[in-house]
Structure 1
Amino acid sequence: MSKQDKCLQLRFKPYHLQLKHTFTLAKSTRVSTPTMLTEIGYNGMVGYGEASMPPYLGENHDTATRFLQSLKLDQFKDPFQLDDILSYVDQIAEGNYAAKASIDIALHDLIGKMRDQPCYKIWGFNPKDAPDTSFTIGIDTPKVIKQKLKEAAGFKILKIKLGLDNDKEIIEAIRSMSSVPICVDANQGWKDKHQALDMTHWLKEKGVIFIEQPMPKKALEETAWLSQNSPLPIIADEAVQRLDDLKKIKGIYSGINIKLMKSTGMREAHKMITLARELNMKVMIGCMTETSCGISAAAQLSPKADWADLDGNLLINNDPFTGVKVNDGKVILLNKPGIGVKKRT
């Protein structure tokens, strides 16, 4: 084994995810998402990672490149020293959460391969406990939404993006074709708490099971009032990113949406699940638009979640990996080492 093989070797390259449909949220529209694909090599083995960077996160190829170039991972001789390595990565610079997640994911994949075990098995999770994943439908015209519904055939829960002035029209279009349960994500689009409360009652009648980030993340008092009066659980997304954010939102939200690109990766996401349970909060494992690398990494945590929204790889048409499977809407964790992904040839 050469001297270079005895230390961590980082490689990365920019990549653009091409969306199958224009993706419209309450505050933005896009047709692609920048991501950074990372690899960490050690002793002839390679772990894969990813940093998906939708614009609202404030990261891009340039920021990720600068951050990753600043890392000196070759000072570490043992990939199992996760605390030391990830503490070093976290302290190099503020922010850069997705870029940090790309290192965390690659390390977990590498360690799993070295132990010849899937990450979920190393953590002691039962793959049968993995929940159904929702399929996301962005804001669009009723005609296009009905087309997207055909692509969602087989999924047992739908995630519907709301937050504009045609919310009811969208839900009615969904219900004209499907009776499956719905979760709603308003992406901070609702501004008035009384109108928001009226919508929660109406949505409950339409078979909605929870509402994600209905109001601006800084509207804490209004959101707390809404949570106390809503017939549906109110779930935090933009309002919570990392572990330290959780205690700040206790009593304001009913649960949290944990995403690896916000939490800096799998290690902190695992800690967030533990703390959320201690705080008696619901847990959703979510995603950005990602390749099968990011989705498969998040899926390792899914057996400990109430809900999963792990469809980001299904919304793109240029996935460079194969990984976690979805069968009739259920997340199927593979018995493959690490996060269970393989590069497409």
Structure 2
Amino acid sequence: MQTAIWHIRKMGKFILRFRPYTLEIKHVFTVAAFSRNTTPVVLIELEYDGVVGYGEASMPPYLGESQESVISFLNKIDLSTYSSPFQTEDILQYIDDIQEQHTAAKACIDIALHDLLGKLLGQPYHKVWGLNPALIPPTSFTIGMDTEEIVRQKVSEAQQFKILKVKLGLETDKMMIKTIRSMTDVPLCADVNQGWKNKEQALEMAQWLAEQNVVFLEQPMPKEQIDDMAWLTERSPIPTIADEGCQRYSDIIGLKDVYSGINIKLMKCTGMREAKKMAELAGALDLKVMLGCMTETSCAISAAAQLAPLVDWADLDGALLINNDIYKGMYVHEGRCVLTDLPGIGIIKK
């Protein structure tokens, strides 16, 4: 059991509490660039008038943030000049302006603030936004790179899911797909994590994957190879989705002819406020929208799920990949995300 040592900051009418926590991943998580079996997070509570909102920052190593950097950022915050949490735009703009980057640190405040607001209103946030949870697409379940034996085990554990997400980007790519196809014919989405460097080979793989009922390619090539990505997108038989290549709202316009769509993650874009704006702008530009996640507790996953009715594809399995979730919220039934009617982001502590 991890010790719960809370940092506490009193700021006018607000009280901010936060502590580090380490997520334990059920299976070693392998992508094109690295493997890991834990994810560091910071859990926060934002209190106003006796009502508490929950938030979370998740920091896979490749994002460049850490528990230490998040805690340092949170110690810079001073909300004492704000008299009400309903000054949402002003508060979150202030948070964003404190320091560049630090998007996961900013996201945990955004999530906690939305949870707090929903509780003060007595409504789940998808209802505050006027969204219909029946429109949430089935969530994918991630199959990380592994041996044939472990891949089969992972697939057998994912029988309820109507779509699977497969990590690619190494010399084992075809083995991964063939192994999964030996067990199931459900649609697949392929996440290459920038693993393919040559555009001709990437196109050849895209054509082969299309024959295997792969419905889209997520970040097939390095984000810096913009011309190669545009070339691939123009010729690919399946859509290409920007993940590492799209972080925030300001990135979207420049991606219009480079990818077929974008992957929005709360930890990349500073939280729910900007994620919703990104989904709406992408839709206006006729870009497909995927809603993704890191390995996270049900706190951040349930927060993201509030805007899932707006997207084409959901990949909200992060809490299912860990052993030590301390919240209960959005859950998956027969491959679909089910939102609770609890106010805010819809979670309780276990």
Where on the TM-score scale, by shorter chain, does this alignment land: which range? Answer: over 0.9
- From 234, 237, 243, the equivalent of 2:249 is 243
SS in 2 for 1:191: coil
Q: How does 1:257-272 map to 2 (within 5 A)?
A: 257-272=263-278
CA distance in 1 between partners of 2:40 and 2:80 (Å): 26
| Structure 1 contact 159–185 (Cα < 8 Å) conserved | yes
| Structure 2 contact 192–218 (Cα < 8 Å) conserved | yes
Partner of 2:40: 34
1:73-107, Cα deviation, whole Å (9 max, x unpaired): 23322001111101111111111100000000000
Q: Does 1:282 align with 2:288?
A: yes
1:222-265, Cα deviation, whole Å (9 max, x unpaired): 00000000000000000000000001111000000000000100
Partner of 1:196: 202
CA distance in 1 between partners of 2:38 and 2:11 (Å): 36
Between the two proteins, what is the percent identity of the paired residues?
A: 57
What's the TM-score, normalizing by structure 2? 0.96
Partner of 2:167: 161
Partner of 2:5: none
Cα deviation for residue 191 of structure 1 reads: 0.5
What's the TM-score, normalizing by structure 1? 0.98
CA distance in 2 between partners of 1:203 and 1:7 (Å): 55
Letter of the 1:322 counterpart: K
Partner of 1:77: 83
SS in 1 for 2:80: helix
Partner of 2:213: 207
- Tell me the C-alpha RMSD between the 2 structures: 0.9
Deviates more, 1:75-84 or 1:228-237: 75-84
Letter of the 2:16 counterpart: L
| Structure 1 contact 273–283 (Cα < 8 Å) conserved | yes
- From 104, 127, 131, the equivalent of 1:125 is 131
Q: Does 1:273 align with 2:279?
A: yes
Q: How does 1:21-60 map to 2 (within 5 A)?
A: 21-60=27-66
Deviates more, 1:313-322 or 1:65-74: 65-74
CA distance in 2 between partners of 1:101 and 1:159 (Å): 25
Partner of 1:315: 321
- From 178, 181, 189, the equivalent of 2:187 is 181
| Structure 1 contact 8–75 (Cα < 8 Å) conserved | no
4+ residue segments displaced more than 2 Å: none
Partner of 2:146: 140
1:142-195, Cα deviation, whole Å (9 max, x unpaired): 110000011101100000000001100110000000110000000000000000
| Structure 1 contact 112–338 (Cα < 8 Å) conserved | yes
| Structure 1 contact 5–42 (Cα < 8 Å) conserved | no
Q: Does 1:231 align with 2:237?
A: yes
CA distance in 2 between partners of 1:24 and 1:73 (Å): 40
CA distance in 2 between partners of 1:114 and 1:5 (Å): 19
CA distance in 2 between partners of 1:74 and 1:31 (Å): 39
Cα deviation for residue 5 of structure 1 reads: 9.4
In structure 2, list runs of 5 or more residues that go unmatched: 1-9
| Structure 2 contact 11–80 (Cα < 8 Å) conserved | no
CA distance in 2 between partners of 1:28 and 1:80 (Å): 41
In structure 1, list runs of 5 or more residues that go unmatched: none
Give the number of aligned pairs: 341
SS in 2 for 1:75: coil
CA distance in 2 between partners of 1:218 and 1:196 (Å): 15
Q: Does 1:304 align with 2:310?
A: yes
| Structure 1 contact 6–43 (Cα < 8 Å) conserved | no
Deviates more, 1:37-46 or 1:74-83: 74-83
Letter of the 2:282 counterpart: A
Letter of the 1:148 counterpart: K
Partner of 1:105: 111
Q: Does 1:336 align with 2:349?
A: no
